[in-house]
Amino acid sequence: MSKKTTATATPAKQVEVLSIQDKKFIDVEMVDVMAQAHNAGLKRSELVFQVANASKSLVKDCTKDKWELVWADFENRLVNTKSILPTTARNYRVEVVKILKAEGIEKPKGTSKTAKHEQSKKANADEVAKKYEHSSLENLATELTQLIGLTDKNSVEKFKEVSKVVLEKTKAKEKQEKDNETQELKDFKDQYSTWFNGLLKTQEGRQELIALRLNTEVRAVVKKVLS
């Protein structure tokens, strides 16, 4: 007589849902602000950043399931309560998520071995970044110089670690300099475009522009504004 076996029930996976508080937060702090940004003109980018900053309290260190629920709810509410086109709502989601990614907040990878490995790598990288947060590039370069030629295991690992930090800090510095330069140019164009367009609106202004045509400095400014 064969021995009977008893099947062991596999625990059902708990389905994550958004709480009422989460949905209310998305509605007020994210969807309402995004709807304002939709028609905000020059202040639009500022409001988009506001949405990204607000969303951090929901998606930072959350699960993969909650991340997907938050952004699905965000898109649906934009479409269903603010009459925004689905494609536009999707673009807004992408725009906000891109801002979060630039700040190191990304969609979790899940619970697979690969995902856990990626999460572990990110945690280690964050730990290293925090360790050298206040170290200047000059000091790090000096430290690298001192490590050159050392072949013991600790020195080799240290050299790799510091080299990576130097590379990341250099990239961040270059990006900041580029962003600052871009903002300065934008401010410059805004200032002189207002002046230039104001002169075009009146006869006296147009005559002033004609009188200034032979001034090479002014011509250079106008060329820069219109480029």
85: left (phi over 0), alpha (psi -120 to 50) or beta: beta
- Sequence-ordered list of residues with C-beta below 8 angstroms from that of 71, at least 6 positions apart, any chain: 93, 97
Q: What is the pLDDT of residue 64?
A: 87
pLDDT > 90: percent of the chain: 19
What is the per-residue burial (b if ≥16 Cβ within 10 Å, else e) of 50-68? bbbebbeebbeebeeebbe
Rounded Cα–Cα distance for residues 5 and 7 (Å): 6
- Sequence-ordered list of residues with C-beta below 8 angstroms from that of 17, at least 6 positions apart, any chain: 69
3-class SS at 132? coil
| Contact by Cβ (8 Å): 66, 14 | no
Determine the average pLDDT of the residues in 146-170. Answer: 87
The one-character DSSP state at 109 is -
**Band of the pLDDT at 133, cuts 50, 70, 90?**
confident
| Contact by Cβ (8 Å): 65, 16 | yes
Rounded Cα–Cα distance for residues 200 and 6 (Å): 88
Q: pLDDT tens digits for 45-62? A: 788 888 999 999 888 888
pTM of the model: 0.47
Rounded Cα–Cα distance for residues 96 and 55 (Å): 9
Q: pLDDT tens digits for 176-221? A: 877 776 777 777 777 777 777 777 778 877 777 666 665 666 566 6
Q: What is the pLDDT of residue 220?
A: 66
Q: What is the pLDDT of residue 14?
A: 59
CA-closest candidate to residue 62, choices 11, 20, 100: 100
Rounded Cα–Cα distance for residues 79 and 74 (Å): 9
| Contact by Cβ (8 Å): 53, 99 | no
- Sequence-ordered list of residues with C-beta below 8 angstroms from that of 110, at least 6 positions apart, any chain: 64
In single-letter form, the type of residue at position 195 comes to W
